[in-house]
Amino acid sequence: MPETTDQPAAPASGANIRLENLTKTYPGSPAPAVEDVSMEIKAGETVIFVGPSGCGKSTTLKMINRLIEPTSGRIRIGDEDVTDIDPVKLRRKVGYAIQASGLFPHMTVAQNIALVPKMIGWPKSRTRSRVEEMLDLVGLDPGEFHDRYPRQLSGGQQQRVGVARALAADPPVLLMDEPFGAVDPITRDHLQDELIRLQHELHKTICFVTHDFDEAIKLGDRIAVLRERSHIAQFDTPEAILTNPADDFVSGFVGAGAALKRLNLTRVRDVGVVDFPTAGIDDPLESIFDRLRAGAQNELLLLDRNRRPYKWLRRSDLARAKETLARAGTLVTDTVTRDATLRDALEAVLTDNAGRVAVTGRRGEYIGVVDMETLMNNVHELLEADRLEAVEHQHELQEQRAHLTQREQEGLDEGGGSRA
């Protein structure tokens, strides 16, 4: 059996999930907390549940791994109806990560991560190497973190261990219930980026509950906006929800600033970065001066020995330079990577005196520059493309409706004819 071999299995990528008429009425409650929810989540997709407090997001999520037993309805994962299977068997298919990590305080990091593999009977050696692999995957040094207790970790590190634990038995489905709700905004941003990176690698099917619509836009392939009793108000891509909200309830949820939120959906790598004149810190002073004098730009970017952005150098700085560049120019304080959203880039450009920011690669090396003009052009193009798409979508719907009405009328005419 696969659980008892030492052979590393090929990683399990996502399985599709089907919820069929799922209802939950808590004992003693007059009304259901979740009522007749049907939805299909495709394999490898990240779907985010958002909606007002108490609308039933967590109840819906917890029914998928049967932490909460449905009152009626069915749950299918892949080809299997899991509504009645042994919950331990279900844990192999479904990883679960929650707010404030949910780690057991009396167990070490390694013991926490090993929990499900042990429970389902993996041999010790396989579990041990899996723990190391998982720590590596979530960016924690196994040597340093293996034997620590949860209280010896920061909030962000605890969340990482929580995600490592959820993924340890390599389940095709990952449920995440506000996993980043309890950490500060900067750590949350990093954890979101990490999750995007992980998902590029792993292709799990992820269901994720959040209160934060910006988080939903950033992480979701599709977003389910839920109203009371988990009734689906709209289930669509972030772009479609932002540009074409189904009704006032959804518009209210999207909130103000849809155009700004749209910037979260596009990354620096998707827009043209511009080339900027550069020079190396070890280049002879004379050649740097020549380049600055000759260039069309009034400025160049000085790179350090690892080709990382170091200083912005203007022509007017030359006067101060004399023999050395030590006191000339302005240190580069902010850069963005190609994975940064346009919103991050805009933020950096707006806070920069000269309205531009350097873009860097994986090791911090210079790639190019994004400036206000590039951003403005791209944002206009994006919004225009969204608008055209929404109009097209509207036309399609109208045509479908017209077609249906016509068929109904033809049906009526035929029916009327035969009766005559």
Q: Which residues bind ligand ATP (CB under 6 A)?
A: 26, 29, 33, 51, 53-59, 211
Closest CB to ligand ATP among 36 and 133? Answer: 36
Q: Which is nearer to ligand ATP, 55 or 332 (CB)?
A: 55
Q: Nearer Cβ to ligand ATP, position 230 or 264? A: 230
We find the least distance from the C-beta atom of residue 321 to ligand ATP, in angstroms, to be 58
* Residue among 33 and 77 whose Cβ is closer to ligand ATP: 33
Beta carbon nearer to ligand ATP, 56 or 73: 56
| Minimum distance of ligand ATP from residue 57's CB (angstroms) | 4
- Shortest gap between Cβ of 51 and ligand ATP (angstroms)? 6
Distance of alpha carbon 38 from alpha carbon 224, whole angstroms: 12
Give phi and psi for 120, each to the nearest 5.
Answer: -95, 10
**Spatial contact of 163 and 136, defined as CB atoms under 8 Å apart:** no
Taking the C-alpha atoms of residue 93 and residue 294, their distance in angstroms, rounded to an integer, is 63
Closer CB to ligand ATP, 178 or 194, in the complex:
178
Cβ 37 to ligand ATP, closest distance in Å?
11
Residue 274 DSSP label: B
d(CA 224, CA 216): 9
Phi, psi dihedrals of residue 222, rounded to the nearest 5°: -135, 155
Are the beta carbons of 34 and 63 closer than 8 angstroms?
yes
Q: Give the residue with the Cβ less far from ligand ATP, 57 or 222.
A: 57
Torsion angle, alpha carbons of 334, 335, 341, 347, to 10: 30
Q: How far is the CB of 173 from ligand ATP (least distance, A)?
A: 19
Residue 188: CB minimum distance to ligand ATP, A = 17
Element housing 133 (H / E):
helix 124-137
Beta carbon of residue 70, minimum distance to ligand ATP (angstroms, whole number): 13
Listing DSSP states for 330-359 in one string gives EE---EEETTSBHHHHHHHHHHSTTSEEEE
SS (H, E, C) 165-226: HHHCCCCCEEEEECCCCCCCHHHHHHHHHHHHHHHHHHCCEEEEECCCHHHHHHHCCEEEEE
